[in-house]
Amino acid sequence: MNSLLHDGVGRSIDYLRLSVTDRCDFRCVYCMAEDMSFLPRQQVLTLEELERIARIFVAQGVRKIRLTGGEPLVRPGVVGLCERIAALPGLRELVMTTNGSQLGKLAQPLADAGVKRLNISLDSLQAERFAAITRSGRLGQVLAGIDAAREAGFERLKLNVVVMHGRNADEVPALVDFALGRGLDISFIEEMPLGQVGRERGESYCSSEWVRQRIAEHYSLIDSAEHSGGPARYVRVQGHAHSRIGFISPHSHNFCATCNRVRVTVEGRLLLCLGHENAIDLCSLLRRYPLADQPVLDAIHQALQHKPLRHEFTVGDVQVLRFMNATGG
């Protein structure tokens, strides 16, 4: 079944990013302010509402759902939610983005529940630097989580790295070595200007081209046309058949023309574009019509006609006031 969801310029929407919590056990410098306040429980979608959202979108032809946060694995009941969503008829794959802190105990249950792939954030291989970037994370715990995920039987694992001058840009070759040595994919991400995080983002901006040049000093890179259904552009590395290196470039090579996704935040707001504040409130409709999906579906179709053609990110400026943890990864 092809997707029944199309925006006003004809793009087909077959990918939903669904946030299950705004809470996180880290406070990464590019994601949120150090002193964060989180949503009260009554404003957060219940597990049943999250499952209902997933079911509505899958029935309309969405084939990929990514669960995000915050940190999705701090949400109680998330493994059972994964199992129910993964079983929805027509869904091709359920995937998740995580900081890896809880994978030591949850990697195997997630794989058993039907999660196909994991993206795991890893911004440094130096313990002190990792703690400074995450403000609270322990590198050893995340590395142990990555090992647990490798043993659990996921189809693919990918490391996500937000590259920042003055923080971790000098570690690009070491992070590539780490991924290739374990048969993992790795993606390098240009920092996105979401929320006031207490510093000027332009000072630390690293373009994907700069990152690629650093990698090419150490490895022979082969351009690849493959994609994973998201915004990453991939290259292969000669002699490492099991790994891919991806570049997610919202500034230098935006991916808007082929955008196939929308986001639903944990408070039930349908975000049509990462780079715009425009959203519609699905939570109110879910609760007003607990037994009827059509009003929710009508609102989704109507909203998609207003999905922006592209974002308007510029280096260093904050165009969107919400933080990444409130956006949904």
Q: How far is the CA of 290 from the CAs of 21, 49, 53, 59, 280, in angstroms?
A: 21, 9, 12, 17, 18
The kind and range of the H/E element at 206 are none
Please list the residues that pair with 189 across neighbouring strands: 162, 248
pLDDT exceeds 50 at position 320: no
Q: For residue 158, say whether it is annotated as part of any ligand binding site.
A: yes
Q: What is the pLDDT at residue 199?
A: 44
Backbone angles phi, psi at 233, to 5 degrees: -105, 135
Q: For residue 28, say whether it is annotated as part of any ligand binding site.
A: yes
Q: What is the pLDDT at residue 39?
A: 85
Averaged pLDDT for residues 137-158: 97
Q: For residue 219, say whether it is annotated as part of any ligand binding site.
A: no
Q: Model-level pTM?
A: 0.90
pLDDT exceeds 80 at position 53: yes
Averaged pLDDT for residues 151-173: 96
- In this structure, of 46-60, 79-93, 144-158, 305-319, the range with the lowest mean pLDDT score is 305-319
More confident residue, 202 or 113: 113
Provide the pLDDT confidence category of residue 38 given band limits of 50, 70 and 90: confident
Q: For residue 164, say whether it is annotated as part of any ligand binding site.
A: no
Q: For residue 82, say whether it is annotated as part of any ligand binding site.
A: no
Q: Rounded distance, CA 146 to CA 120, Å?
A: 8
Q: For residue 30, say whether it is annotated as part of any ligand binding site.
A: yes
Q: What is the pLDDT at residue 327?
A: 56
Averaged pLDDT for residues 246-264: 82
Q: For residue 206, say whether it is annotated as part of any ligand binding site.
A: no
Q: What is the pLDDT at residue 30?
A: 86
pLDDT exceeds 60 at position 158: yes
Mean pLDDT (the chain, rounded): 89
Provide the pLDDT confidence category of residue 202 given band limits of 50, 70 and 90: low
Averaged pLDDT for residues 300-323: 68
Please list the residues that pair with 261 across neighbouring strands: 15
Tokens 């957060």, residue located = 44
Provide the pLDDT confidence category of residue 281 given band limits of 50, 70 and 90: very high
Provide the pLDDT confidence category of residue 133 given band limits of 50, 70 and 90: very high
Tokens 């079911």, residue located = 55
DSSP state of 87: T
Q: What is the pLDDT at residue 203?
A: 62
Provide the pLDDT confidence category of residue 229 given band limits of 50, 70 and 90: confident
Q: For residue 273, say whether it is annotated as part of any ligand binding site.
A: yes
Q: For residue 17, say whether it is annotated as part of any ligand binding site.
A: yes
Q: For residue 287, say whether it is annotated as part of any ligand binding site.
A: no
Q: In the chain, what's the furthest Cα-to-Cα distance? A: 58
pLDDT exceeds 50 at position 128: yes
Kindly calculate the radius of gyration of the chain based on its CA atoms and give it in whole angstroms.
19
pLDDT digits (tens, 9 = 90+) for 231-249: 788 999 999 999 999 998 8
Provide the pLDDT confidence category of residue 29 given band limits of 50, 70 and 90: confident
pLDDT exceeds 50 at position 7: yes
pLDDT exceeds 90 at position 32: no
Reduced 3-state DSSP string for the chain: CCCCCECCCCCECCEEEEECCCCCCCCCCCCCCCCCCCCCHHHCCCHHHHHHHHHHHHHCCCCEEEEECCCHHHCCCHHHHHHHHHCCCCCCEEEEEECCCCHHHHHHHHHHHCEEEEEEECCCCCHHHHHHHHCCCCHHHHHHHHHHHHHHCCCEEEEEEEEECCCCHHHHHHHHHHHHHCCCEEEEEECCCECCCCCCHHHHECCHHHHHHHHHCCCCEEECCCCCCCCCEEEEECCEEEEEEEEECCCCCCCHHHCCEEEECCCCEEECCCCCCCEEEHHHHHHHCCCCCHHHHHHHHHHHCCCCCCCCCCCCCCCECCCHHHHCC
- Name the 3-class secondary structure at 79: helix
Using DSSP bridges, classify how beta strands 115-121 and 269-271 pair: parallel, antiparallel or unpaired: unpaired
pLDDT exceeds 60 at position 165: yes
Amino acid (1-letter code) at residue 83: E
Q: For residue 262, say whether it is annotated as part of any ligand binding site.
A: yes
pLDDT exceeds 60 at position 322: no
Residues 15-327: name the CATH superfamily.
Aldolase class I (3.20.20.70)
Q: For residue 135, say whether it is annotated as part of any ligand binding site.
A: no
More confident residue, 278 or 80: 80
- Name the 3-class secondary structure at 279: strand
Percent with pLDDT over 70 in the chain: 88
